[in-house]
Amino acid sequence: MILSFWLLPGALALMAYAVAALLPPSAATPARASLIVAWLAHAAAIAIDTSGAGSAESGARFGFAPALSVTLWLVIAVYLIESRSLPLLGVRRSLAVLGAVAVVLALLFPGELRPQALSRWAPLHWVMGIASYGLFGAAVLHAAMLSRADRQMRQLPQRSAAGGATGLPLLRLERLTFRFVAAGFAVLTAALVLGWWFARPWHWDHKTVLSMLGWGVFAALLAGRRIFGWRGPLATRWLYAGAGLLLLAYVGSRFVFEVVLHRSPTL
């Protein structure tokens, strides 16, 4: 009975995400309301999952699925804010489906409890790492929308010649994409520095190597953008490569440990 009580927010989020995904584009207002309900319930589910509420032991719970769940929650938060002023057509259903998948994965693979952290700075390191995931996830979302808008404009050149209504969203999407990349890079840099500071000795494991490679890719992207004016498919490929490396760094490595090897990884 107690266990089922703690599962209620996740079940509510799952149902609300399903409604938001299934409603037609003409029902924009109910779909947005359903997505907001799902987002709020998702937040409650994340709080329960990561705090270890309902478990016999006390401590914070971490794993690949909770990290993925928080990342999707942050990306949906960005969407809900921006969709009020910027038309983001065709995104709601995809985000609702991804949010539902994240909730299901977090329910199936809640991670393991960590009664004690390695350092008093460790929680801040984890929070900043997940925050960088969310910022880069938002950048990937905007890059995908930018690529789709660019393809549509090329397929319908007469629409772009009709006026500036098409160009303005493209420029805004591009600026927003690189703002999220820059913010994510700054937070990721702080998280890596903090991890290097409290982790003694420094371990060059898979997570660290992939995180540093991802950091290097994003550093090159921002430098290329500033020096050479990178944009379009070239910049998008660098963004996807960096995001993929970061996804493998924590979510991927912990998935291998938790699901494939059934071992307890070090954070």
CA distance 94 to 171: 23
- Is the domain of 97 the same as that of 69? yes
- Is the domain of 175 the same as that of 260? yes
The reported pLDDT for the residue numbered 241 is 96
- Is the domain of 134 the same as that of 58? no
Identify the domain containing residue 107 by its residue range. 1-116
Q: What is the pLDDT along the chain (267 residues), one digit of tens a residue?
A: 445 666 899 999 999 999 999 999 888 889 999 999 999 999 999 888 777 665 555 556 677 788 888 889 999 998 898 888 766 667 889 999 999 999 999 888 877 766 555 555 566 677 788 889 999 999 999 898 888 877 777 776 544 443 334 444 678 888 889 999 999 999 999 988 887 776 656 667 778 889 999 999 999 999 999 999 998 889 999 999 999 999 888 777 666 656 665 565 555
- Is the domain of 248 the same as that of 148? yes
- Is the domain of 145 the same as that of 265? yes
Beta strands in 93-252 (DSSP E): 112-114
The answer as to whether 162 is a domain residue is yes
Give backbone dihedrals phi and psi of 61, rounded to 5 degrees, phi first.
Answer: -110, 130
Q: pTM above the 0.75 mark? A: yes
Q: How many residues does the chain have?
A: 267
- Is the domain of 43 the same as that of 87? yes
- Is the domain of 102 the same as that of 178? no
Could you say which DSSP state residue 258 is in? Answer: I
The reported pLDDT for the residue numbered 218 is 97
- Is the domain of 108 the same as that of 135? no
CB under 8 Å to 133, separation ≥6 — which residues?
67, 70, 71, 74, 246, 247, 250
- Is the domain of 266 the same as that of 166? yes
- Is the domain of 149 the same as that of 263? yes
Cβ pair 216, 205 in contact under 8 A: no
- Is the domain of 165 the same as that of 246? yes
Cβ pair 132, 243 in contact under 8 A: no
- Is the domain of 97 the same as that of 150? no
How many domains does the structure of the chain reveal?
A: 2
